Structure 1
């Protein structure tokens, strides 16, 4: 691992024709297209074997970049904004006019007036507004909204005795909650869900989806100027940092897209592990792991975003044995970093209680709203499994397939069956999150059907029923 004072090691510096600096596209690995998307984690491991902790790759349009695969190297980049800036205007591909106007990269990496693309004092000003506004959100309120919308979604498919927990639950719940936090009408949810999914895929219609999101948020900002409320847009508008309307709009877009994508994947990946992973179920049924612990395990093993763009080198520097040139782009390979054999030689060893994963980044740009995503996922899954304690896969595990894009890997479907509940459950009233985090799950044992109460510690039976059914 290099240090801020380290000078490039001449023995490690590649010659002028090195990857990303002169080789033909056929000699470099593309991070897009069917081949790359078939199994991105296997691709990352192949790159690690060939190049070490930092590997040269090609992005859409055969634009060169580096993907950081090592855990320590990821931390070094995340914590060193003076050497690895978030200002995408430094990218040499932008400066040389090589990024097409319709490139699917633009919605994600083109500079915008938001904290994600700022460093130093400007970053502190913008991030301060976002952090202060997010902290004003009522965490108990978030959990109440989540329980309410979870019950509404369950009501739509409960009588059928079967459902697809991706399209009918995971992909819909986070956006419904976020529209509430943003003071938006609930009917905005479905169109925003589709637009956000399309944007993160980096498809040919990504720019149109981005335009829809921006247009919707622009109308929202205009409305909040005349009719403010107790919501995120109103607090951003009234913050002492004096954000412009464009800055407010872009930060709302950032929160909306980032919160939705990461939380959808966190819910989907956790449900998949609960329903399929024997080790996971054993830890839960034995009381060795609580549901919040389970979420952290998933954030290590299957983070919501496999890679995060991007950082741009402010000068020539060595990283992981590679010479990174000024203006080069780096992708943070958080999924690869989380399974780096240098820090996790045995992936079967549980890491519960350990939040040092890279899923929400680290350093000055660490995700400020990560606890909101955790609250939505925790409460949503908790409520779902309480309502449907005999939930089980409707297909063999081998029948589950994922859809990958250059930044994330999304489970396509999670078909399940269950006994239709006799009656709908009323909205759940939840205690403070701390109480849920301290309460271990009980050991597996026969138990009567759960009855919703205000005491979350008394809900153990749904776990026993679920885990007994899955054994």
Structure 2
């Protein structure tokens, strides 16, 4: 492949930078990425909210280059030239993500190592089998809330609440915190009118938790964080607890929803699972290639004048990691429709020193949660035509709004646990008159998931 020749820092005449917001970007972000790739190659000039300029990194190799070289492309937003020049007002939509804070994903060097070390070493103390037991328990409780109705929205009733309920347990918070934290996290990410109030609620709740764990330690992430030898202050512990909780909620909820959609709508995907050609962990990795939980990561900032894929990048320029675009880069996936087996070189969790530290916990929540759901409700099917499914897109991610399904009504399991409060899941709807016993299904209706499990 010939070496790219240096190009202009701005798009060529007659080829304006595309906005990464607005109707076109929201309707079909992947289509826009391919349009940009065709026009500009591996690195494209784009505009973010307020028509502020940035570079979108579309190539797989180029994404790795940016993510792995913080000396050239720093995570610290104080390098952003537009911010230095006063072009980013306090109420700008990106301010919550670009305002500098002393947290591990916005610092570099020794300070990054100190803060990141506290998180990774605390996360590594978890017993993975214990995590899966929590997931199974909460998944069963959520399923119990709708199992008798024969229908559910797997986004609102399952994919969104499950990660936060599990993480609430892992951080050592009282179980009653879970439902409200689910609501608050959803509200913060969607940027509603009450997002600021939800942010405050999460902050106050986590500060109370940190203070309690300093007085009464436990075997949980919060305790391990505050007792870590790096000596985090209460403010640092609260900031990093919030970072872990929100990151786990956003990415894992998307991964669960995207995987379930693929299972319900993609015949080849489902055939590979039911035929034993693909395990559920394989399926998760395929979804991480095709529909990563975060499509774009904001941001990196050039520490000096440099070059990337033939583009002249100026000091202070903002770069966006195009995780979704990089995963379908023709240089590494000539045919993006072909399945990728046993390959974890996708960009779904980024790379380099800021790679997601909790990705294995996210995989465990998604894997165990989906397995529990499909085992208990093996005849799940989409309740609406596939083309009626709706998405909500933002600069960083693409969310499935709802995933309505129907199935044979079943009774609840006997978990021996306190049920999840009603605010964490939809109240059980009125079940049909004839409710089959748990595990029963109508004659002639095959349970493909049960067949798969017998092969495992």
- C-alpha contact 1:386 1:450 (8 A) present in aligned 2: no
Q: Which moved more, 1:37-46 or 1:209-218?
A: 209-218
The superposition leaves residues 369-419 of structure 1 with CA deviations (integer Å, 9 ceiling, x where unpaired) of: 100000000000000111111111111111111111111111111111111
Secondary structure at the aligned position of 1:57 is classed as: strand
Q: How does 1:270-285 map to 2 (within 5 A)?
A: 270-285=259-274
Shift of 1:423: 4.9
Q: Are residues 1:124 and 2:92 paired? A: no
Alignment match of 1:463 (pick from 446, 449, 455): 449
Query: Superposition pairs for residues 234-253 of structure 1, below 5 Å?
Result: 234-253=223-242
Change (3 A) 1:379 1:95: same
- 2:221 is the counterpart of 1:227: no
- CA apart distance, 1:310: 1.2
Matches of 1:97 and 1:416 in 2, distance apart? 49
Aligned partner of 2:320 in structure 1 is 331
- Evaluate the alpha carbon distance shift between residue 153 and residue 204 of structure 1 in structure 2; reply closer, same or farther with a 3 A threshold: same
Q: Please, which moves more after superposition, 33-42 or 404-413?
A: 33-42
Q: Give distance in 2, aligned partners of 1:84 and 1:323.
A: 13
Q: Counterpart in 2 of 1:14?
A: 8
1:58 maps onto 2:47 in alignment = yes
- Displaced runs of 4+ in structure 1, greater than 6 A? none
Name the counterpart of 2:286: 297
- Asked if residue 261 in structure 1 is aligned to residue 250 in structure 2, the reply is yes
State yes or no: 1:106 paired with 2:118.
no
Q: Please say if residues 200 and 407 of structure 1, whose CA atoms lie closer than 8 Å, have aligned partners that are also in contact.
A: no
Structure 1, 167-176 or 113-122: larger mean CA deviation: 113-122
Alpha-carbon distance in 2 for matches of 1:347, 1:321: 25
Q: CA deviation at 1:244?
A: 1.6
For the residues of structure 2 that align with 1:207 and 1:376, how far apart are their CA atoms?
A: 28
Q: CA deviation at 1:37?
A: 1.0
- The separation in 1 between residues aligned to 2:222 and 2:28, in whole angstroms, is 38
Deviation at 1:179?
Answer: 0.7
Partners of 1:190 and 1:292 in 2: how far apart? 28
Report what 1:35 is aligned to.
Answer: 24
**SS of alignment partner, residue 37 of structure 1:** helix
Aligned equivalent of 1:443: none
| CA 1:197–1:44: 2 relative to 1, 3 Å | farther
Alignment-derived partner of residue 454 in structure 1 = none
* 1:225-263 Cα deviation digits (max 9, x unpaired): 222221111111110011122211111111011111000
- Over 3 Å counting, the alpha-carbon distance change for 1:34 and 1:212 in structure 2 is farther
Indicate conservation of the 8 Å contact 1:41/1:335, yes or no. Answer: yes
Q: By how many angstroms is 1:426 displaced?
A: 4.1
1:280 deviation in Å?
A: 0.5
Larger relative contact order (Cα-Cα within 8 Å, sequence gap ≥ 6): 2
**Deviation of the 1:210 alpha carbon:** 2.8
The SS at the match of 2:239 is helix
- RMSD of equivalent CA atoms: 2.6
CA-to-partner distance for each residue in 1:158-192, whole Å, 9 max, x for gaps?
A: 11111110111101100000111111123322332
Range 56-65 or range 402-411, more displaced? 56-65
Where 1:310 maps in the other structure, the secondary structure is strand
Matched, 1:375 2:364: yes
Partner of 1:359, secondary structure, is: coil
Residue in structure 2 matching 1:406, options 392, 395, 407? 395
CA contact (8 A) 2:295 2:396 kept: yes
Give the match for residue 156 of structure 1: 145
Listed as ranges, the matches of 1:207-222 within 5 Å are 207-222=196-211
Counterpart position of 1:200: 189
Mapping of 1:142-181 within 5 angstroms? 142-181=131-170
CA deviations 1:430-461 (Å, max 9, x no partner) are xxxxxxxxxxxxxxxxxxx969xxxxxxxx97
The alpha-carbon deviation at position 207 of structure 1 amounts to 4.0
> Which secondary structure does the structure 2 equivalent of 1:368 belong to?
coil
| Stretch deviating more after TM superposition (59-68 or 172-181) | 59-68
**Runs (5+) with no aligned partner, structure 1:** 429-448, 452-459
Residues in 1 aligned to 2:365 and 2:179: alpha-carbon distance in whole angstroms: 18
Size of the aligned set, in residue pairs, is 428
Tell me: CA distance 1:62–1:186, structure 2 relative to 1, closer, same or farther (3 Å). Answer: farther
- Distance of 1:255 and 1:423 partners within structure 2: 32
TM-score, structure 2 normalization:
0.88
Deviation of 1:108 after TM superposition, in Å, equals 1.7
1:30 CA displacement: 1.8
Q: Which runs of 5+ in 2 are unaligned?
A: 418-437, 441-445
